[in-house]
Amino acid sequence: MEMKLGSFDLSSMARILLVLCVLMVSKSTGTFFPIDNYLLACGSSQNVSSQGQVFVPDSSPSSLLQLNKGITVNSSSTAPSPIYQSARVFTESSTYKFDINQKGRHFVRLYLCPLSHPSYNLKSATFTVITDEFVLLSNFTFKNQTTNYLFKEYLINVTSDTLYLHFAPSNNSVSFVNGIEVVSVPDELIPDQALALNPFTSFNGLSGLALETVFRLNMGGPIIIPGNDTLGRRWENDRSYLHVKNSAQNYSVNPSIIKYQTGVTPETAPNWVYATAERMGDANVVNDIFNITWVFTVDPEFMYFVRLHFCDIVSKAMNELIFNVYVNSVLAMPSFDISEKTGSLNVPYFKDFISNSSTNSSFLYVSVGQDKSNPSDAILNGLEIMKMSNEAKSLDGKFSVDGILPSIAKKKNSKVGILVGSAIGVTVALALLAFCYCCFVAPRSSKPRPKSHPWLALPLYGNSQTMSKVSTTSQKSGTASFISSGVSSLGRSFTFSEIMDATNKFDESLLLGVGGFGKVYKGTLEDGLKVAVKRGNPRSEQGMAEFQTEIQMLSKLRHRHLVSLIGYCDERSEMILVYEYMANGPLRSHLYGTDLLPLSWKQRLEICIGAARGLHYLHTGAAQSIIHRDVKTTNILLDENLVAKVADFGLSKTGPALDQTHVSTAVKGSFGYLDPEYFRRQQLTEKSDVYSFGVVLMEVLCSRPALNPGLPREQVNIAEWAMGWQRKGMLDHIMDPFLAGKINPGSLKKFGETAEKCLAEYGVDRPTMGDVLWNLEYALQLQETSEVADPEDNSTNHIADIQLGQLQPIDNSMSIIHSGADDEPEDATTSAVFSQLVNPRGR
Ligand SMILES: *[C@@H]1O[C@H](CO)[C@@H](O)[C@H](O)[C@H]1NC(C)=O
Ligand SMILES: *[C@@H]1O[C@H](CO)[C@@H](O)[C@H](O)[C@H]1NC(C)=O
Ligand SMILES: *[C@@H]1O[C@H](CO)[C@@H](O)[C@H](O)[C@H]1NC(C)=O
Ligand SMILES: *[C@@H]1O[C@H](CO)[C@@H](O)[C@H](O)[C@H]1NC(C)=O
Ligand SMILES: *[C@@H]1O[C@H](CO)[C@@H](O)[C@H](O)[C@H]1NC(C)=O
Ligand SMILES: *[C@@H]1O[C@H](CO)[C@@H](O)[C@H](O)[C@H]1NC(C)=O
Ligand SMILES: *[C@@H]1O[C@H](CO)[C@@H](O)[C@H](O)[C@H]1NC(C)=O
Ligand SMILES: *[C@@H]1O[C@H](CO)[C@@H](O)[C@H](O)[C@H]1NC(C)=O
Ligand SMILES: *[C@@H]1O[C@H](CO)[C@@H](O)[C@H](O)[C@H]1NC(C)=O
Ligand SMILES: *[C@@H]1O[C@H](CO)[C@@H](O)[C@H](O)[C@H]1NC(C)=O
Ligand SMILES: *[C@@H]1O[C@H](CO)[C@@H](O)[C@H](O)[C@H]1NC(C)=O
């Protein structure tokens, strides 16, 4: 994951030398050669040729190709031109990093088109784009746009060796980009100074500002595509901006007669621009004195840099053409005579101004017109209008970079280099889910980043996005730091022969189950202790180091409600884990599908409480929280006393670090239990476990599978089905008939509400596991007190309804205590705190 910033090796030296040579040669021929020249087709799998330019995929190095699988949109139907046909979609803040070889002005160009996608509505995506210094787009969305694609061009003076381009989705949204260009611009193109109108004064300091091209017109001429402009600019025709269409008529000459002279080069504007113009309509026929006026809609909050291009291509002789030029009705160039300035016909000339929009309106007007004292024709050849960044260094809105994205802004400063954003898939659909259990080799991008692609989007939070079921320890770096915070014992190291003896040579009759990792056998150790032996598939891709990290992680987790690891065996390249044996097997088998006795409501509550404790410990008990990612009734095991323990950390992942809110990852988990938000956004938080646990609660109440495709459509998914009934307050209609008449209504109500909150659409609306635990305890207490008392007494009527949110402060104190003590004591703590609750019977 490390990227050496500013590293300088022979190959880049050679590249710079080559560039310098080319530059020297090109100087003599007058052609500008952009030293930095990145043209990226985002999300594309191949080079894209668009408007005379070739864009390369933003994912070329094969070492990282896998990261980019399923993260792109590719749709030719809605795209206006090839560069818009693919896009990269980001579900979280992401960054492109460009190595800059020549500091100074650069064009930064963005191509945006909300392609259609089955899971993401890019049309309503809202996001912010910033560099380290400037805000380019703020809360931008296509929702409000009249166009269905957008091209943006910025001119930014890059003063460091690297340019970062951050894409930050707004709340619950995604960001995307179809194409990016970062291209060197000749320093002379934009001066530091220009004449400000209204009041007339010299404006200094343009070099410190970012500019955004809002209009660039080739008056009276055709559209000039980037491929025909030395700086890759596009020039539009001006007709649609004319205030009065027939006030102007186009005029053109052969571009080859344009003579560039001092101060003006083809980089200023190509000769195609100077070879065409708008001149006064019928000026020679009608004697009326009038103006040609162009009208532009601008944001009145900003100032604008206005460049006017002239070239006298209409006159037969010198000093024939004398006219006035107005910007926002201010006479900017009185009695202007082009040939006087240039000393010759057909020689280009340009003039810069700085202007506001006209007084309290959002229009900017540019006019050329006859000088009353000296009536002649009037022309304009080209016009550029650029928005200037404001005091907040923004080109969109009033927020500065620091105000908007402090976290991103901070990250870029850490020169460690783990700062480049993560590109998360959008085509992560069912297909990928089905893939979950297949081995997917996680790319380890600790490989050096290929020099030739310095702009790659790299993941922000490590790389194991395609972590497989087998790759148990998921995020290696996270795990490693977590472990170093306090390694306990690694558990017992077993010899292979001990394992062979314990399992009777892996006797198939002792098979307890088969999972992605391999097979699980029941075993008996020499001392008579019953164990579960999980034998990794020797052909699995999981390396030895990862195997050991997994052991460390699991052995660190000791809790009454987590299945504990007893030891391991790594002899003979075996990968074997030995767990405590859970006599009563998975919770699921006690709910349905077997002839085991149905569990009582109290037993069910106690099991749920146990499992919630285990998960609460995972989330809060360690320095870095752990997200289980595969909470379901088959992963909650019951020991001989029906004590619930959470098992199978095959998918678990260390949670977000303190300054992050989530980890991003390819979607893993089990159908029916999957957090819809996680599925949509691939952002993993503890709340994803909470959602899955909500499904478990419903399953426990209703004694039916999370997904049952055999049922009518609306009943297939228990989360949807039960939520419908819960909202109606009629959960008792679908609960396990065995429980009918045996549940205290208050207990059921509390349980239903808790499950409902767990199943909230958005993670932020779900309770923490601590809250869940609390409410389940409460439901249990209601049940217990009602069992003691007269069953007819509906005690709930007397109980103040306790909202999940209100429990938060107390829960915090609970988790502090938890983090101090790993093992049993939290039971006592919890009940101590719980006893502060009003005993319903005491009221
Ligand atoms: C888009 O997808 C089609 C077929 O999947 C492929 O042939 C084409 O090359 C892709 N285009 C881009 C720009 O990746
Ligand atoms: C893509 O374009 C780059 C730059 O123009 C070129 O070096 C590369 O060979 C092209 N690749 C393909 C597959 O055409
Ligand atoms: C986006 O909008 C939200 C709420 O309207 C605001 O708080 C936030 O500052 C905006 N972000 C930017 C970059 O303007
Ligand atoms: C959408 O545009 C309309 C009119 O242009 C404006 O009034 C409205 O505030 C805009 N909405 C958003 C969310 O920007
Ligand atoms: C973002 O989410 C927070 C919390 O849900 C909310 O308070 C805020 O208004 C949201 N902002 C926007 C722009 O939607
Ligand atoms: C870019 O900024 C630096 C530092 O402010 C300045 O020295 C340089 O002249 C600027 N370059 C251009 C082209 O504006
Ligand atoms: C110039 O004007 C003529 C006649 O009005 C029109 O047909 C032609 O398209 C115009 N050319 C351009 C480049 O606008
Ligand atoms: C662009 O360049 C091509 C090839 O040189 C030429 O045929 C075409 O007319 C040019 N178009 C414009 C608008 O300059
Ligand atoms: C041209 O426009 C300017 C500014 O709006 C105005 O002052 C001037 O009178 C106009 N000239 C003619 C001839 O209409
Ligand atoms: C822009 O307008 C503001 C107030 O309307 C004024 O103070 C400022 O001087 C103007 N700037 C220019 C360059 O016209
Ligand atoms: C400009 O603002 C002034 C005062 O706010 C107002 O009286 C006037 O009508 C406005 N003019 C236009 C064209 O909106």
263-268 average pLDDT score: 90
How sure is the predictor about 340, in pLDDT bands with cuts at 50, 70 and 90?
confident
Condensed to tens digits (0 to 9), the pLDDT of residues 672-682 reads 788 877 777 77
Residue spans of the domains in the chain: they are: 2-184, 211-388, 464-580, 587-789
Q: What is the pLDDT of residue 444?
A: 29
Comparing 594 with 539, the larger pLDDT belongs to: 594
Number of H helices, E strands in the chain: 18, 39
Q: What is the pLDDT of residue 280?
A: 87
Residue 361 Cα, ligand 11 centroid: separation in angstroms?
8
Residue nearest to atom 14 of ligand 3 (CA): 138
Quick one: which atom of ligand 1 is closest to the CA of 82? Answer: 13
Test site for ligand 3: of 138, 141, 166, most ligand atoms within 8 A of the Cβ: 138
CA trace torsion 272, 276, 277, 281 (10° rounding): -160
- Residue 217 confidence (pLDDT) above 70: yes
**Percentage of the chain with pLDDT > 70?**
71
* 464-580 has CATH 3.30.200.20 classification: yes
Distance from C-alpha of 342 to C-alpha of 350, rounded to nearest angstrom: 10
Give the catalytic positions in this structure: 630
Condensed to tens digits (0 to 9), the pLDDT of residues 496-553 reads 888 988 998 888 888 887 765 678 899 998 888 889 988 876 555 544 555 555 666 6
- Residue 359 confidence (pLDDT) above 60: yes
How sure is the predictor about 652, in pLDDT bands with cuts at 50, 70 and 90?
low
Quick one: which atom of ligand 3 is closest to the CA of 128? Answer: 13
587-789: CATH architecture: Orthogonal Bundle (1.10)
- Residue 362 confidence (pLDDT) above 70: yes
Of 94-108, 301-315, 402-416, 485-499, which range is least confident? 402-416
How sure is the predictor about 438, in pLDDT bands with cuts at 50, 70 and 90?
very low
Q: 534 among the known binding-site residues?
A: yes
Quick one: which atom of ligand 8 is closest to the CA of 223? Answer: 13
Distance from C-alpha of 331 to C-alpha of 329, rounded to nearest angstrom: 6
Residue nearest to atom 6 of ligand 9 (CA): 329
> Does the CB atom of residue 169 touch ligand 3 within 6 A?
no
122-145 average pLDDT score: 91
Residue nearest to atom 3 of ligand 7 (CA): 250
CB–CB of 627/655 below 8 Å?
yes
Ligand nearest the Cα atom of residue 397: 3
How sure is the predictor about 433, in pLDDT bands with cuts at 50, 70 and 90?
very low
How sure is the predictor about 16, in pLDDT bands with cuts at 50, 70 and 90?
very low
252-267 average pLDDT score: 90
Residue with the two structure tokens 């009629």: 730
> Does the CB atom of residue 361 touch ligand 1 within 6 A?
no
Distance from C-alpha of 27 to C-alpha of 267, rounded to nearest angstrom: 12
Q: Reduced to 3 states, what is the DSSP secondary structure of residue 346?
A: coil
CATH topology of domain 211-388: Jelly Rolls (2.60.120)
- CA 378 from centroid of its chain's CA atoms: 51
- Residue 290 confidence (pLDDT) above 50: yes
- Residue 48 confidence (pLDDT) above 70: yes
CA distances to 71, 188, 570 from 228, in Å: 33, 20, 65
Same fold, 464-580 and 587-789: no
> Strands 175-177, 322-327: parallel, antiparallel or unpaired by DSSP?
unpaired
Condensed to tens digits (0 to 9), the pLDDT of residues 708-767 reads 888 888 888 898 899 999 999 888 889 999 998 899 999 999 999 999 999 998 888 999
Nearest to 296 by CA among 355, 345, 247, 352: 355
Q: What is the pLDDT of residue 495?
A: 87
2-184: CATH architecture: Sandwich (2.60)
> Does the CB atom of residue 360 touch ligand 11 within 6 A?
yes
Condensed to tens digits (0 to 9), the pLDDT of residues 49-61 reads 988 899 988 876 4
Residue nearest to atom 7 of ligand 7 (CA): 250
Test site for ligand 8: of 217, 219, 228, 229, most ligand atoms within 8 A of the Cβ: 228
Q: Which helix (H) or strand (E) holds 248?
A: strand 248-252
Condensed to tens digits (0 to 9), the pLDDT of residues 376-410 reads 889 999 999 999 999 999 999 888 888 665 555 44
Residue with the two structure tokens 């930095």: 36
Residue 143 Cα, ligand 4 centroid: separation in angstroms?
9
Nearest to 7 by CA among 808, 15, 503, 759: 15
701-711 average pLDDT score: 88
Quick one: which atom of ligand 9 is closest to the CA of 326? Answer: 4
**Percentage of the chain with pLDDT > 90?**
34
Q: What is the pLDDT of residue 473?
A: 30
Q: Helix 808-820 crosses helix 601-620 at what angle (to 10 degrees)?
A: 70
Q: What is the pLDDT of residue 663?
A: 54
What does pTM read for this prediction? 0.56
Residue 133 Cα, ligand 3 centroid: separation in angstroms?
17
Quick one: which atom of ligand 11 is closest to the CA of 360? Answer: 1
> Does the CB atom of residue 45 touch ligand 1 within 6 A?
yes
> Does the CB atom of residue 247 touch ligand 3 within 6 A?
no
Distance from C-alpha of 275 to C-alpha of 290, rounded to nearest angstrom: 24
Residue 145 Cα, ligand 4 centroid: separation in angstroms?
9
Residue with the two structure tokens 């998921």: 474
Tokens of 828: 């006592």
Residue 406 Cα, ligand 4 centroid: separation in angstroms?
27
